[in-house]
Structure 1
Amino acid sequence: MKHIYLIVFTLVLPLSLFAEDGSRLWLRFSQSGQEKAQVISKYKSPSIDIARQELAAHWQGQPVEFQLDKKLSYLKDGYRIKSDKNKIILSASQDAGLLYGAYHLLRLQQTGADCFNLDMEESPKYDIRILNHWDNLDRTVERGYAGYSLWKWDELPNTLSPRYEAYARANASVGINATVLNNVNASPQILTDEHLTKVKALADIFRPYGIKVYLSVNFSSPKVIGGVKDSDPLNPDVRKWWQDKVKEVYTLIPDFGGFLVKANSEGQPGPQDYGRTHADGANMLADVLKPYNGIVMWRAFVYNPTEEDRAKQAYTEFVPLDGQFRDNVIIQIKNGPVDFQPREPFNPLFGALKHTAEMVEFQITQEYLGFSNHLVYLASLFKETLDSDTYSDGKGSTIARLTDGTLRPAKLTAISAVANIGEDTNWCGHHFAQANWYAFGRLAWNHELPSETIADEWIKMTFSNNDGFVKPVKEIMLSSREATVDYMMPLGLHHIFAENHHYGPEPWLSEAGRPDWTAVYYHKADSAGLGFDRTAAGSNAVSQYFPPLDKVYGTIESCPENLLLWFHHIPWDYKMKDSKTLWDALCYKYDSGVQQVREYQKVWDRMEQYTDEQRFREVQSKLKIQARDAIWWKDACLLYFQTFSNRPVPYDIERPVHELEDLKKIKLDMKHHN
């Protein structure tokens, strides 16, 4: 894979020096040679200096005056912007708030909003708004599709890539204030003295942008790199090792955030190796971090070989431990109960932990959504989860309100997502994948923002303010996730991907290291019908949802049709709400997905007049791949499922263009993606 290194840029280079290659993300501020904006500030700090520099270089409106006001502490790291006669007063109680406010002003200017009659307060919905990088120390990125890792461990701490600061700036511009540098499948080596000095170098660059560094840790670190005989959390020697290590970390990085832990899942070590619980393991780490105000984000993604339905495992393991975790532990829960599928119901663990802090984990990187080849705008997926009503605390108990401190006051609130960022010139592999990084930041700040508003902002900031471009491209973005579900796994189908790489379809996959790594485990196709029975008569996963959802999901007639095959094994001739049989509905969904992507190609081709040649051609090329892949998905799934349904593909939709046996022979070599 070819890698192109970004040339260093400063805040005030003229626009003409930049190629239209996507490297500037949404930070494409106007620089028309105007006089520098007047910024009045009697305060100085690294963060305030950046805020002042950004406005001085790019702001074209009234003079801006900074004010630090402790009475605004209720805004946390938010800010107030108010027009006052011939100037704008930007106030905050924290330095970072002034920086976020400066970026808000520039966003208003970029998107063509009114910048003269301002009166607003902004306060983030979550305290910790964090990216999880699944980056390895050898610079490969697990589920990364944008080249090698940004972090050049071999060069650190002495050589600092200009992209480190550019990364921090992009995050600060959307309010992301935390980052986990390394893979949840963590190498113990990240905690060695050698690597901690490298982590410190990154933390020093990120700090002025309001970003705290966190690390994923391997639970076996005391034994592997510390010479302790085991890593039992109740072993005093193990506790002492962690205590000393944490002291070392905070001596180097006084504002270090804490640890992210994946334990006893997919072969990773954990407290259960010693007959201890997740609470024992999390609390041991929480206790040693507590004096430094550090936190533990303990992942609920636990699944090991079991006869039980995999979708039930997180709930089964964690609900009995509710109330046993320290107050600086947050349980990090994937949005769905299986694994970042194009569509899943929300994870039933949300709301079920009545006495334990919970946070959402999303995936920005498109592991199951066509990698960096498919245009899939994920704000609608994020919103679908955040707006889901769990009924845990009565009607209106949405996941957003459960996790942001509204319904259950928490010491700290947090939201996370697995990053899609790599060394590629355009950062994310696909120009439109940048919108998902942007959307996560905006929703982490304010989960009430509509997907449409975020798309509108991003298009105007990244491409063009021209309505002839904005409107049709926004329609592509807003429909793209549903189109992808349609051509991959409609009506509640899930995890019928090819083994290991998760790129293409392999619904016939029946042999793997364990049953829940196969496709047939999930779709259960047979001559009678299709789908996973999770009702009381099946795995009874519906029982993990609060009433009335257990009955809503558990009854075919009331189950949302977009989740039907997730919860039910449905006969092929079952009549859907529109009177189509299940088989016909499946065929029409797959075809609809294909046709939508073809329409995206036509719309994008008409956009050539509004955009630069390089990005136009690169997006056009990706859409060709997506269109081919959509047909591949449609043909593979319909031809395979047809061997069970024994029904014809409806004659008014496009015929398959492949033979099933030919599709079964496709084996992709995707090693370079992992």
Structure 2
Amino acid sequence: MKTWPLLCLLIALSVTYASADDGYRLWLRYERIADPAVRAAYAKTFGFIAVSDSGDIVHNAARELQTGIGAMTGKHIPIVKTVPKNGRGIRLSLSGASDVTPVSADSYAISLEGGNVVIKSAGNTGLLYGSFALLRHLQQHLPVEKVVTQSKPKVQLRMLNHWDNPEGTIERGYAGSSLWKWYELPETVDPRYADYARANASIGINGTVVNNVNASARFLTAEYLHKVAALAGVFRKYGIKTYLSVHFAAPKTLGGLKTSDPLDPEVRKWWTEKTKEIYGIIPDFGGFLVKANSEGEPGPQDYGRTHADGANMLAEALAPFHGVVIWRAFVYKADPNADRFKAAYDEFAALDGKFARNVIVQVKNGPIDFQPREPFSPLFGNMPRTPLGMEFQLTQEYTGFATHWVYEAPIFKECLDSDTYVNGKGSTVARIVDGSLHNYPLTCVAGVANTGSDRNWTGHPMAQANWYAFGRLAWDHTLSAQAIAREWTQLTLTTHAKAVATVSDIMLRSRAIYVDYNTPLGLSRPWTGSHYAPEPWQNRSSRPDWTAIYYHRADSLGLGFDRTASGSNALEQYRPEVRRAWENAETCPLPYLLWFHHVPWSKKLSSGRILWDELCHRFYTGADSVLWMQKQWDGAQTAIDPAIHADVTGRLAKQYKEALWWRDAWILYLQTFSKQPVPAIYPKPERTLEEVKKSVNVYLMR
């Protein structure tokens, strides 16, 4: 009898543990609806799912509807071949051009016809996307009659780029090891691959590059192609094509040729035969992603050839199979007198119009390297005859890894909404990327993935929102960061109105808070030993642009990189309207001030403070704002799963500690140049510069 209380306690603990949300379900939680009126209305409306097509993609669409609506209503929803004479339900309908507007295999229309919800599309993938759109609507407990809509993706190729390596590591990965268990494939196919594909399809992602852009030629061997084929077999059932990053020197390293010169006939023949082999194993293979002549990677310039020569050679091999080449524009040479900001433009702008029709040049959103805030890359607006794809980074290489909460949709939107003025006012980056401005035959948006083997996929639970926001914006870049934040919160965390508003507010302010304590006023710091720890004093490397001092240019006179005509003249790469907004330090918006100007410490800014005081203000208020994030998050505790809430609470505590670390490192280091005191309203740092440097060194030795 004495063991009974203990047994009850163990049962209670096991129930609590089993019911805790570990984040695995992402935004596809499909929680039972608490409101009985809403639950009853949905149960009455959805009595069946009628599907005439039996293909894998449509089958998965129907099964997702069955699972989702069943979980939300507590009712089993049968999948049937024909619409019953009585009752109400869902009909998935493959329709011709006259029935669906706009027309494409991915577009869909949702309508109400005779009491039934009808999802129409010209293609199977459209039915899948429409099904997820309906579920998204229902997860927010919205009225069924308001689900009527039509939708078409604004970009054709909506892709994740995985920087995963064959040994299971992930370059710039902060959520565990690779999802892909290469040592088990192709014989063992982890069920998680299907859940990954479901999550991507639910937000419209239709392509994935499974390996690192710093590519191993091993992925082109027959052994690894069959492993990749096993993944492709899972992905295609969700409308996702598989791509590979390729090692440009593979003809030599793998094929045994004496050269990898793209104009050499034997090299071209090797790629042609290798491409045929790939399509023989993966019939719906998407194409190649290439990083060439960048950061030590081999490329066509090794043989005196251009990027266009290299890309066109691969494009020729892929063309018979309708494959595409995605050629990255992330290039910069080790020139001590150059400005890395200008490198991509200098190498690619002159090649406009020289790439084959099945080549996309993939450009990072900014000219440096995924900084917390960057101006848009000057390549956008300067290559009207070459399809330019967008490359965003979801993994938080420069935004705090999996420790700091940074919602990245404002970063994406800031770039997409920027006006290049290439064809006059309104020539936004978004209109270039989606092809509407220059009539590109191919369009692409890629995100460097933030997924890993961690149970919750992304390490930091709130980093799931960056994956979600990327997919939603790749589909429709007119969506607002605010709308996506609210939507993701409702689908992933809670439908409690006050909590949704609170969490959304934290998300929308999180990026600005991080920038304030990390890189305010246009500071950038793309090289530290770890890309994580504060190290503004770092000045030793094999090349100058791999030091921190190269970017901030702190000296006794002031701070910032002069990119006006009196400096590197990087601003010359932009249209006059853009230059005018940034070239005058008196009128340059503060977020970009130090990107383009070397500003005296005592210079009075538009805020009314001198530069030094404004920097102190940003560093201190940014760090203190993490305390605000903690307080707001605590206020939403009762509406959020305890396990998720506790996880984020711990990370916010770490974030505050590290925000102080960044604040003190910058202030104490810059103070050696400014020779000015911290304003009296702020407490002086409790540690010395040497103590901060020591703590950074300890971190880097881990």
Instruction: Give the structure-1-normalised TM-score.
Output: 0.95
Tell me, in whole angstroms, the C-alpha distance in 1 between the residues paired with 2:105 and 2:609. 53
Letter in 1 for 2:647: E
| 1:376 aligns to 2:406 (yes or no) | yes
> What residue is the counterpart of 1:63 in the other structure?
89
1:176 aligned residue: 205
**Kindly tell me: are residues 670 and 437 of structure 1, through their superposed partners in 2, closer, same or farther at Cα, counting changes over 3 Å?**
farther
Give the secondary-structure state (helix, strand or coil) at the position aligned to 2:450.
coil
Matched, 1:24 2:47: no
Query: Are 2:513 and 1:483 aligned?
Result: yes
Letter in 2 for 1:564: L
Structure 2 match to 1:650: 679
Of the three residues 61, 65, 77, the one matched with 2:106 is 77
How do 1:181-580 residues align onto structure 2 when only pairs under 5 Å count? 181-306=210-335, 307-495=337-525, 498-499=528-529, 501-580=530-609
| Structure 2 residue identity aligned to 1:69 | S
C-alpha distance in 1 between matches for 2:292 and 2:371: 22
Shift of 1:386: 0.4
Partner of 1:106: 135
The structural deviation recorded for 1:176 is 0.5
Does the residue aligned with 1:359 lie in a helix, a strand or coil?
A: strand
Tell me if structure 1 keeps the 8 A contact 2:294–2:332.
yes
Distance in 1 separating the partners of 2:251 and 2:690: 51
Q: Secondary structure at the match of 2:278?
A: helix
- Amino acid of the residue matched to residue 118 of structure 1? V
Alpha-carbon distance in structure 2 between the residues aligned to 1:557 and 1:669: 39
Change (3 A) 1:429 1:246: same
CA deviations over 1:4-30 (Å, ceiling 9, x no partner): xxxxxxxxxx99965411011111013
Q: Report the 3-state secondary structure (helix = DSSP H, G, I; strand = E; otherwise coil) of the residue aligned with 1:367.
A: coil
Q: Displacement of 1:188 after TM fit?
A: 0.4
**Structure 1: stretches of 5+ with no match in the other structure:** 1-13
SS at match of 2:150: strand
Structure 2 equivalent of residue 43 of structure 1: 53
**Aligned residue runs from structure 1 range 576-595, under 5 A:** 576-595=605-624
Matches of 1:373 and 1:17, distance apart in 2:
26
Over 2 Å off, 4+ runs? 14-19, 30-37, 57-62, 72-76, 116-119, 496-499, 668-672
Deviations 1:147-203 (A, max 9, x none): 000000000000111110010000001000000000000000000000000000000
**In structure 2, C-alpha distance between the alignment counterparts of 1:498 and 1:237, rounded to whole Å:** 42
1:179 is paired with a residue whose SS is strand
- State the distance in 1 between where 2:338 and 2:637 align: 52
Q: Is the 8 A contact 2:252 2:258 kept in 1?
A: yes
1:91 paired residue among 113, 116, 120: 120
Equivalent of 1:143 in 148, 172, 182: 172
Residue 604 of structure 1 deviates from its aligned partner by 1.3
Does the 8 Å contact 1:75/1:124 carry over to 2? no
Once the 2 structures are TM-superposed, how far is the Cα of residue 119 of structure 1 from its aligned partner? 2.2
Q: Secondary structure at the match of 1:349?
A: coil
Is residue 496–residue 507 contact of structure 1 (8 Å, CA) maintained in 2? no
**Partner SS for 1:331:** strand
> In structure 2, what is the equivalent of residue 6 of structure 1?
none
Shift of 1:663: 0.9
Q: C-alpha distance in 2, partners of 1:654/1:357?
A: 52
Contact 2:369–2:526 (CA under 8 A) maintained in structure 1: no
Secondary structure of the equivalent of 1:116?
A: helix
The residue identity in structure 1 corresponding to 2:21 is: E
Q: Return the alpha-carbon distance in structure 1 between the equivalents of residues 55 and 20 of structure 2.
A: 33
* Separation (CA, whole Å) in 1 of partners of 2:516 and 2:642: 31
**CA drift at 1:74:** 2.2
Q: Which amino acid aligns with 1:656?
A: P
CA distances 1:210-253 after superposition (whole Å, capped 9, x unpaired)? 00000000000010011111100011111111000000111111
Equivalent of 1:630 in 653, 656, 659: 659
**AA of the residue aligned to 2:453:** E
181-190 vs 642-651, which moves further: 642-651
Give, in whole Å, the separation in 2 of the partners of 1:319 and 1:118.
Answer: 45
Contact 1:496 1:506 in 2 (8 A): no
Structure 2 residue aligned with 1:122? 151
Describe the SS at the equivalent of 2:145.
Answer: coil
2:387–2:435 CA contact under 8 A, matched in 1: no
Check conservation: 2:363, 2:379, Cα contact below 8 A: yes
Q: Once the 2 structures are TM-superposed, how far is the Cα of residue 607 of structure 1 from its aligned partner?
A: 2.1
Q: TM-score of the superposition, structure 2-length normalised?
A: 0.92
Query: What is the alpha-carbon root mean square deviation over aligned residues?
Result: 1.7
CA distance in 2, matches of 1:670, 1:379: 30
Cα separation, 1, equivalents of 2:526 and 2:661: 13
SS of 1:70's partner is coil
Comparing 540-549 with 599-608, greater Cα deviation is found at 599-608
In structure 2, distance between residues paired with 1:598 and 1:379: 22
What letter matches 2:457 in structure 1?
Answer: W
SS of equivalent to 2:669: helix
Over residues 471-529 of structure 1, what are the superposed CA-to-partner deviations in whole Å (9 max), with x where a residue is unaligned?
A: 11111000000000000010000016532x11011111111121001111111111111
1:668 offset after TM fit, Å?
A: 5.0
Native 8 Å contact 1:146 1:421 kept in 2: yes
Aligned equivalents of 1:43 and 1:147: distance in 2? 39
Residues 352, 385 of structure 2: 8 Å contact kept: yes
Measured after TM superposition, the shift of residue 583 of structure 1 is 0.5
Distance in 1 (CA, whole Å) between partners of 2:683 and 2:130 is 52
**How far apart, in 1, do the equivalents of 2:147 and 2:331 lie?**
48
Q: Secondary structure at the match of 1:148?
A: coil
